[in-house]
């Protein structure tokens, strides 16, 4: 009996078998798509539930926001002289953090670039350090350094520096890994030593990209240094927090204008310099 069935199956034309396979394949694909769509919808819905999103609060909160804006206008420009020093501090925290980041990230990136690393141990060690410094947010670093060295701009600079090591180290290493190695091998074949190959071959090849990345990081660090003031990292962020706590909304609006100018200025300057380097 079973042999008869097997023979009967064998007699089914191959086109019919292909058609059946296609039908089953289509059904499975459709089912997978439905499940994925449901999963997508579930992810969106749970975010609204978890963050307790209540759009009605936005409407009722309009009055409060309008009152805040009314009290913040006009900005108190008489406080302008007292904002100069925190502004300088904010920019310098970012500059300090970027410089520390670049100086520490460059040697780490050399060790963490798979194409030029001297050993596998150095590679994994450097990747570990880069990964850890990047994984811990700069705000957390700031809190740690405030605990260690006290309030002020120094812990802010250190926090940005250490976090920048992670961000820059990874980008520097990727730049080195992606560079064209043919000119480097050609230089090795001339009998040049490793250090000479590095300074005469690798550095000139990657320097413009590294400078571009560093400038972009500086731009990001200026924005971050504003926030670091909230946790005692000094600068204009600390002044903003103080003004808000004292309900000095006209001073808050002045500080927001200054922050806007600093961020925009840094962004444009960084973009212009990167364009020149390209």
Partner 1 sequence: MLRVRSLSVGYPNGRLVLDGFDLNVEPGELVVVLGGNGSGKTTLLHAIARILRPSAGEIWLGDTDLCALEGEQLRRARLELAMISQHPSLIRRNSVLTNVATGTLGRHYTLQTAFGGLPRCELDAAYDHLALVGLEHLAEQRAGTLSGGQRQRVSIARALAQRPRVLLADEPIASLDPEASEDIMRLLQRLARTARLAVLCVLHQVELAYSYADRVVGVRDGRVVFDLPREQVSRDSVHRLYIGEAA
Provide the residue count of the chain. 278
- What is the signed CA dihedral for 138, 139, 143, 148, rounded to 10 degrees? 20
Among 13, 191, 245, 278, the residue binding partner 1 under the rule CB under 8 A is 191
Give the whole-angstrom CA distance, residue 261 versus residue 269: 12
Residue 207: CB minimum distance to partner 1, A = 8
| Selection from 219, 131, 135 nearest residue 170 by Cα | 131
Q: Is 200 in the site for partner 1 (CB under 8 A)?
A: yes
Among 103, 207, 261, 264, the residue binding partner 1 under the rule CB under 8 A is 207
Give the whole-angstrom CA distance, residue 72 versus residue 52: 29
Closest CB to partner 1 among 74 and 191? 191
Residue 184: CB minimum distance to partner 1, A = 8
Q: Is 242 in the site for partner 1 (CB under 8 A)?
A: no
Residues 6+ apart with CB under 8 A from 158: 97, 100, 141, 145, 149
Give the whole-angstrom CA distance, residue 194 versus residue 227: 43
Binding to partner 1, residues 154-183 (CB under 8 A): 180, 182-183
Q: Applying CB under 8 A, what is the total number of residues that bind partner 1? A: 21
Residue 52: CB minimum distance to partner 1, A = 54
Closest CB to partner 1 among 42 and 207? 207
Q: Are 104 and 165 in contact (CB under 8 A)?
A: yes
Q: Are 95 and 155 in contact (CB under 8 A)?
A: no
Residues 6+ apart with CB under 8 A from 275: none
Q: Is 192 in the site for partner 1 (CB under 8 A)?
A: yes
Among 156, 201, 234, 235, the residue binding partner 1 under the rule CB under 8 A is 201
Among 100, 174, 208, 250, the residue binding partner 1 under the rule CB under 8 A is 208
Residue 209: CB minimum distance to partner 1, A = 10
Stretch that binds partner 1, among 197-205, 210-218, 236-244, 254-262 (CB under 8 A): 197-205
Closest CB to partner 1 among 59 and 278? 278
∠ at Cα 86 (85, 92), nearest 5°? 90
Q: Which residues are near partner 1 by CB under 8 A?
A: 180, 182-183, 185-187, 189-193, 195-196, 199-201, 203-205, 207-208
């Amino acid at each position: 009996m079973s042999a008869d069935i097997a023979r009967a199956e064998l007699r089914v034309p191959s086109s019919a078998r292909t058609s059946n396979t296609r039908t089953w394949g289509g059904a499975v694909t459709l089912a997978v798509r439905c499940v994925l769509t449901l999963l997508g919808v579930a992810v969106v819905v749970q975010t609204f539930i978890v963050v307790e999103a209540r759009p009605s609060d936005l409407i009722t909160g309009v009055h409060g926001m309008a009152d805040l804006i009314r009290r913040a206008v006009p900005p108190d420009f008489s406080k302008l002289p007292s904002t100069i020093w925190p502004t300088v501090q904010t920019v310098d925290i970012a500059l300090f953090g970027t410089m520390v980041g670049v100086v520490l990230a460059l040697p780490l990136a050399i060790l963490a670039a798979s194409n030029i690393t001297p050993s596998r141990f150095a590679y994994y060690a450097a990747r570990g350090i880069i990964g850890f410094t990047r994984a811990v947010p700069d705000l957390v670093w700031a809190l740690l350094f405030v605990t260690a060295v006290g309030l002020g701009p120094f812990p802010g600079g250190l926090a940005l520096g250490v976090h920048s090591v992670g961000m820059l180290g990874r980008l520097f290493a990727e730049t080195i890994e992606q560079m064209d190695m043919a000119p480097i091998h050609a230089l090795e074949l001339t009998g040049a030593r490793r250090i000479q190959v590095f300074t005469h071959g690798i550095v000139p090849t990657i320097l413009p990209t590294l400078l571009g990345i560093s400038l972009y990081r500086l731009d990001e660090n200026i924005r971050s240094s504003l926030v670091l003031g909230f946790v005692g990292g000094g600068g204009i962020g600390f002044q903003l927090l103080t003004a808000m706590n004292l309900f000095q909304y006209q001073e808050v609006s002045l500080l927001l204008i200054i922050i806007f100018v600093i961020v925009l200025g840094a962004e444009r300057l960084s973009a212009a310099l990167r364009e020149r380097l390209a």
